[in-house]
Each structure stands twice: as structure tokens, then as C-alpha cells.
């Protein structure tokens, strides 16, 4: 049993190294990405879409060239456990998702995913064993087409200096940067003189 | 010259492998994360905040335990080239940013970052050479405190089955999932029978 070009055990090591722990969702995510890559439509360049920010984006980043920083991975906060790989211009692609009907065959996975058991009631060993045994068996596949324009990251455009903080920012955001325009998460700021 | 625990050359290899190409912003990002980690305040657990989705999140994901999938990395689309590492509960942290004043010492970096030169006018070799020579010299440091609640990812909460698509979704989103509630990027969907 492989996950893309890795053995199952190798993939678990990559998960631990990148993600910090053996998150069950990320192991399922490995099977999702593996199945999607096995069903790519025609095309040369594929981008990725995750329909949740939880766990799944790391499976994509570990197993494909698509990352958040290079813009080939888009994340929607739909809370559906699904990855779509799509041809970046035309939008034809394959979507692999967690199939609720198939969950019934794997009660420990079902109760964990649907939150029918509290954390202390879950059996982690059994959960991981069922995930490994299930493999692709939890998943559904759809041929899809999406509109790349709908999820494309806005271009940065011209850059100016914010008159408040003095830092470069995209002038599309208005007369000041979004931080200085009222969205700042910071409550205190003090310059340190040691830089440079 | 090191970037965290890696030599400069090792870091470039990691960038190529993870990000796909030697993006100048990601090399600067390496210096940003390196400088931030050298100035962490007291504390045991640190989360990361990137103020742009472009390039920088990959530096954080390569060099720290914080990833999008594990939730320890938050991205704001402020378009400022800055990373903050903060103590996850109290919010005290260090913010490292591209200092516009210091850019003046490195004209090729300045003209690239502020988009004063078109792509074909840029000298990539000179740009990369200036980035390596500048190192931390482009950067400013601030001691900050932020409000972790303001950037915390919303908890998934109870999970139900969407009456339209049949997939598990967070019931906080309403009577159907956000995809089926009108936000779908998909224009065509067809089930493939080969799964399982």
C-alpha cells in the first residue's frame, strides 16, 4: 500500500515531521490526494483546492507541488473533507471526498469524524487501524469542472508605502494598509533597535 | 551564514523542493523567520502569523512546526511582508518585517519589491545576490502583543450531513453546507463509479 510515491510508513514519517503529529485526518488526506492524483484528467498544470483548512492542506503540501505560498493551493472554509485537483486554466478536474455512506463500514472513523464520541471515549489505535484498513474505501470521486476565476487569488498590483506604518502595501487596499485601516490584531507594538 | 538550523545552500534546496522554484520572496522569508526565532520572547508554545499569503507562509512552514493544516499558522491578507511569532495564549511576540527605509540600500531588491521594474527589466542574478548580501539587513523587528482571539480559527463544532450534497459539514454554517448554500466554485459535477 502506497501513498503517492511513498510507502504508508514513509508517509506517516512525513506527516510527523511536517505536521507535528499523526493527525488521523491527515492520514485520510494522504489517501484522498493519492486517489485524486490517480484520476487526473488530461492536462499539464494542476492546482489544488481544499474545502477545509483543517489537516487536508498539509496532505496536499506534502504530496504535491501545490503550497499556500506559491499560490497553487486554494483553501475554502466549507468544512467539507474534500480535495480537488484541477487543470489551472480550464478548470476540469477530479474531486475526492469523504463519503458519508461509506463511513458506516468503519464505526470508529465515523464516530470520530462525526464527533459522536468525546475525545476520551475514542480508541486512537483502533481509529488508526481502521483508517489504514479502509484506505481509499472511505472515499468518493467526482469528475468536476470549476471556475478558476472564482477562487483565484487577487493580484497584488501596484505597491505603495502606507502613510501610517510606513511599510510597503498593495494600494488596491485603499489609502492605508488593512492593518492600519482598522483590522490590526496587534494591541502593543515597540520597535527593537537590534535589527540590521 | 545560516537560516535557522540550515546552511544558506541547504535552505535554497528546501525552498526548491517545497515551493517549486527559488522565489526571491521566500529567500527573504527565510531571513525573516530566522530573525524572528532569534528574538522570541519567553514562552513555550509559539504560533505564527503571516501578513500576506504570498511566499512567506512557505518559509514558516519549512522552518517552524507551524503549518496551515495544523492551525498554528494564520495568514492575513494585509499585503505586508511580515511574520509574527507569538506565544499562543498570551499573544506576546516578535514581529519581523521588510523595512522600506533599509530597502534603499539594495536598489535591485527595492525595484523588484516595489514593482518599479517590469519583469524583463529585472536582473535575477543581481537580485538574488543582493538578497544574500543583505540578509537580516532589510528587516526591522518589533516587540508586539496581539489578541489571539482575533485571529483564532473558528472551532468546527458539531458535524451534520448536508441535505443537498449528503457530505459531512459543520452545522454552524446553517441548514446546508456553504458549497450548497450558493458559494460553490463548481460548474459541473459527475460521480465516478471506480472509488472504493
Q: What percent of chain B has pLDDT over 70?
A: 98
- Chain A contact present for B195, CB below 8 A: yes
CA distance, residue B74 to nearest chain A CA (Å): 10
pLDDT beyond 70 at B161? yes
Q: Does B68 touch chain A if contact means CB atoms closer than 8 Å? A: yes
Long-range CB contacts (within 8 A, 24+) of B86-89: B86/B46, B86/B47, B86/B48, B86/B49, B86/B144, B86/B145, B86/B146, B86/B148, B87/B41, B87/B42, B87/B43, B87/B44, B87/B45, B87/B46, B88/B45, B88/B46, B88/B47, B88/B148, B89/B45, B89/B148
The pLDDT score that the predictor gives to residue B194 is 60
Say whether pLDDT at B155 is over 90. Answer: no
- Say what the pLDDT of residue A23 is: 96
Which cell numbers in the block locate residue B80? 505586508
Cell of A195: 535589527
**Model pLDDT, residue B195:** 47
Q: State the CB neighbour count (10 A cutoff) for residue A74.
A: 23
Task: List the 106-125 stretch of A: residues with Cβ below 8 A of B.
Answer: 113-115
Tell me, what's the pLDDT at A112? 96
Contact A31, A141 (CB under 8 A): no
Domain segments of chain A as ranges: 2-151, 156-196
Q: Supply the CATH classification number for the domain B156-196.
A: 3.30.60.80
Mean pLDDT of chain B: 95
Handedness of CA A75, A79, A81, A82 (dihedral sign): negative
Considering the domain B2-151 in this protein, what is its CATH number?
3.30.1330.130
Task: Check CB contact of B20 with chain A, cutoff 8 Å.
Answer: yes
**B54/A contact by beta carbon, under 8 A:** yes
B27 pLDDT tier (thresholds 50, 70, 90): very high
Do B143 and A192 make contact, defined as CB atoms within 8 angstroms?
A: yes
From first to last of its 196 residues, chain A has per-residue pLDDT tens of 899 999 999 999 999 999 999 999 999 999 999 999 999 998 889 999 999 999 999 999 999 999 999 999 999 999 999 999 999 999 999 999 999 999 999 999 999 999 999 889 999 999 999 999 999 999 999 999 999 999 998 888 999 999 999 999 999 999 999 999 999 999 999 988 664 4
**C-alpha distance from B128 to closest chain A C-alpha (Å):** 18
Grid cell digits, residue A129: 487501524
Give yes or no for B143 touching A (CB within 8 A).
yes
DSSP states along B62-84: HHSS--TTTT-EEE------EEE
- Min Cα distance A124 → chain B (Å) is 18
Q: How far apart are CA B196 and CA B72, in angstroms?
A: 33
The position carrying cell 511566499 is: B55
* pLDDT at B191 > cutoff 60: yes
Polymer length of chain A: 196
Q: What is the pLDDT of residue B193?
A: 65
Cβ proximity of A73 and A59 under 8 Å: no
The SS3 call for residue B146 is strand
Can you give the pLDDT at residue B36?
A: 98
Q: How many interface pairs between A and B have CB atoms less than 8 angstroms apart?
A: 257
Q: What pLDDT score does B1 carry?
A: 86
pLDDT at A35: 98
Across the interface, whether the CB atoms of A179 and B35 are under 8 A apart is answered no
Q: How many residues does chain B have?
A: 196
**Separation in Å, CA of B43 to nearest CA in chain A:** 17
pTM of structure: 0.95
Q: Quick check: do A2-151 and A156-196 share a fold?
A: no
Q: Find the mean pLDDT for residues B77-105.
A: 96
Per-residue pLDDT at A101: 95
Residue A150 Cα, gap to closest chain B Cα (Å): 6
> Using an 8 Å Cβ cutoff, are B40 and B64 in contact?
no
Using a CB-CB distance cutoff of 8 angstroms, which residues of chain B are in contact with residue A79? 156, 159, 168-170, 173, 177-178
Tell me: the pLDDT tens digits for B31-88?
999 999 999 998 889 999 999 999 999 999 999 999 999 999 999 999 999 999 999 9
What is the pLDDT, as a whole number, of residue B196? 45
- Who's near B191: CB < 8 A, 6+ residues apart? A140, A141, A142, A143
Nearest to A39 among B142, B146, B192 (CB): B192
Residue of B96, B89, B81, B85 whose CA lies nearest to B41: B85
The pLDDT-based confidence of B119 (bands split at 50, 70, 90) is confident
Amino acid at each position: 500500500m502506497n501513498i503517492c510515491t511513498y510507502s504508508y510508513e514513509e508517509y506517516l514519517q512525513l506527516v510527523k515531521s511536517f505536521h507535528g503529529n499523526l493527525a488521523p485526518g491527515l492520514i485520510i488526506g494522504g489517501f484522498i490526494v493519492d486517489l485524486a492524483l490517480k484520476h487526473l484528467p488530461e492536462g499539464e498544470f494542476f492546482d489544488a483546492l481544499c474545502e477545509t483548512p483543517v489537516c487536508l492542506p498539509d496532505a496536499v503540501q506534502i504530496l504535491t507541488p501545490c503550497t499556500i505560498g506559491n499560490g497553487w493551493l486554494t483553501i475554502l472554509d466549507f468544512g467539507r473533507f474534500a480535495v480537488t485537483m484541477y487543470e489551472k486554466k480550464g478548470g476540469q478536474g477530479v474531486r475526492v471526498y469523504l463519503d458519508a455512506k461509506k463511513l458506516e463500514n468503519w464505526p470508529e472513523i465515523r464516530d470520530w469524524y462525526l464527533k459522536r464520541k468525546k475525545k476520551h471515549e475514542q480508541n486512537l489505535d483502533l481509529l488508526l487501524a481502521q483508517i489504514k484498513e479502509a484506505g481509499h474505501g472511505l472515499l468518493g470521486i467526482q469528475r468536476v469542472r470549476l471556475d478558476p476565476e472564482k477562487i483565484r487569488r487577487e493580484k497584488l498590483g501596484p505597491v505603495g508605502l502606507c502613510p501610517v506604518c510606513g511599510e510597503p502595501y498593495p494600494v488596491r487596499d485603499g489609502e492605508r494598509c488593512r492593518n492600519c485601516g482598522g483590522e490590526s490584531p496587534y494591541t502593543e507594538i515597540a520597535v527593537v533597535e537590534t535589527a540590521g
